[in-house]
Chains A and B, each alone.
Chain A
Amino acid sequence: MRFSRKEAWGVLLHKGARVLLVALVALFVLWPWLPGVSAIPTRTLVLYGFSILGEVMNQSVFPAFQANWLARTGERVELISSFAGSGTITNQMILGVPAEVAILSLELDALRLVQAGTLPGETWKTLPFAGVLNRTPFIILVRPGNPKGIADFSDLTRPGVGVVHPDPLTSGGAQWAILAEYYSALLATGDEQQAYDQLLGVWNNVVAQASSARAARTQFENGFGDALITYEQEALRDRALGKLNADIVYPASTILSEHIVVVLDNNVKPDQRAVVDAFVDFLWSEAAQRLFTQYGFRSVHEQLNAENADFGLIQRPFIVDELGGWPRAKQDIIDAIWKQRVLVEAGS
């Protein structure tokens, strides 16, 4: 083959451009391993968390712990983390991901870890506040201006109100929501039949079910239904960021979800013990708990919640202990009432 001089330059230029491109990409890829660049941290900590915790942990709580650890030991610790649905990360841990600490959306998932042998026993009970890291109540999101006049869970049973609900078979948030829908009526009336009727009424109005609380939010934002039952934290966070295109309705009585910290001792190597323990202690420190409230979570330290004016008033909040703890609530309400009666009746 023969080239004119111009063509030869063109080929050379092309070749040069290609070599340059490859060299640039290689430089970018190999950068952390080049001498004189120490981008690889000395120590790491592996944390798995359920979805709504991702932002606060990565942006605030962990950097605060990082500074704290650096000041105390002179060592830089980097967070290796993964955030997904609580059920998903629980399954991953059962399959053996190298998590050292995990934050789950409900105690049931922690109990599943015990059942699978991933945890030797209910070890989170020995942590501060029996492993409860923070709380957030379940509230109702409605369209701007509340056109359907929804003021409480009981209004969600009215004909013509469309409810978007996460699927309790896969979503931790949905299970909290069911307890709220049932027990709030039981508290108000003291009558199990009326509590059942309220739960059934809400479920008769469910127009869309999503696999997770997050996915249900997306459906609601895309115009499905008139109301969504979800975490107060997400709604407050969105409002703070100016992204909330809905009104928050506080039920007179609702459940506060409790998020559980578990330490996976089997995955903690001896030389990691100190940093893991320090991190877990830090989670309940006033500094960390204040950061949680700034991101819309309610702290386990009550006095900190008073500092955040965003938190709405709930006349009669309750926690799962009032229902006899998660194993009983799951058996008596989720399985016996919702799954075996409501689901059958609402489906027919």
Chain B
Amino acid sequence: MKNKGYLPISLLLAVLLPLLLMPLAAIFVFAGRGGWDSLVSVLSSADAQFALRFSIIIASLTAIINAVLGTYAAYVLSKYRFRGREALSVIVNLPVAIPTVVVGTSLLLLWGPIGLLGQFLDPLGIQPMFAPAGVLLAHLFVTFPYMLGAVKPVLDELEVTYEEAAYTIGASRMQTFRHVILPALKGGLFSGTLLTFAHSLGEFGATVMVSGNLRLRTQTGPLYIFAQFEAGNLEAANAVAAVLAAFSFVLFFSMLRLTRRRGRAD
């Protein structure tokens, strides 16, 4: 049964209005303040286009790689018993708690041209930092826990009897995973991937450290926004911010619709 009381709803709105809704609306108001023409000219500039394009590519790659990596990690951590499992489960969740700037710095000190490993790679002509590869590395690190968090609880809850049944009729581990576990994970996989994608789209702290913030080479959407803000071009900053916000809205909205329809169909 759904409640129809208006008081709780208006209370929620009253809280969310200054906290969430007004700041979001401000993005669009300021994006449109220079008029339609300036919005179009900002969004058609090479810098803004590159930044958006680069952000989407990095976010897609991050989502795909972490979907595989995160699911695998969740599977091992959930289904295998070994020494240090608990500690490892905590450690893989740490990226959420560590400031992203620290993540960026530590990646630099590891892979950068004067870093721990980087100093041996540099003479070979391999330089992951200040290049798209560095941005991808940073995003993989920062978003890793999201996939894990979406998939592991489902795996933990999954009745072992189904798996055991599969084994008794002669299924291999791979077959069991493919036909028994994966279908149960669908929802978690889906929301985890989207969450990873969205988070990567908005990542700033680690990216600004490892990318070198180079326009037309490693500048993501959020870095473009910050650079324009620094230079005092609020319209340009807000135009790209509005595109990113709208894109995320469509993303989450379609996720909601999809999961709801699936819920009804079952």
Contacts and interface: CB of A to CB of B under 8 A. Distances in A.
Contact of B230 (A83, A94, A95): A83
Interface in B200-259: 212-217, 219, 227, 230-232, 250, 254, 257
A14 B112 CA distance: 46
A301 interface: no
Contacts, number: 69
Contact of A84 (B52, B108, B230): B230
B265 interface: yes
B56 interface: yes
Interface stretch (A25-33, A101-109, A144-152, A180-188): A25-33
A46 interface: yes
B265 A84 contact: no
A4 to B, nearest CB: 14
A78 B130 contact: no
A29 B261 CA distance: 29
Contacts of B108: 95
B114 A95 contact: yes
Contacts of B60: 29
Contacts of A97: 130, 212, 214
A271 B58 CA distance: 30
B9 to A, nearest CB: 27
B49 to A, nearest CB: 8
B214 A80 contact: yes
How many B residues touch the partner, as a band? 20 to 34
A199 B57 CA distance: 53
Nearest to B226: A84
Contact of B112 (A55, A96, A243): A96
A14 to B, nearest CB: 7
B113 interface: yes
Nearest to A46: B214
B57 A54 contact: no
Interface in A27-68: 28-29, 31-32, 39, 44, 46, 51, 54-55
30 contacts: A14-B257, A21-B250, A21-B254, A29-B56, A29-B57, A29-B60, A39-B46, A46-B217, A51-B230, A51-B231, A54-B231, A78-B216, A79-B216, A80-B215, A81-B215, A82-B213, A83-B227, A92-B212, A95-B108, A95-B112, A95-B113, A96-B112, A96-B113, A96-B114, A96-B118, A96-B122, A96-B130, A97-B130, A97-B214, A98-B130
Given A29-B60, A80-B216, A98-B212, 9 more contacts: A21-B250, A28-B52, A31-B53, A80-B215, A81-B215, A82-B214, A95-B113, A96-B129, A96-B130
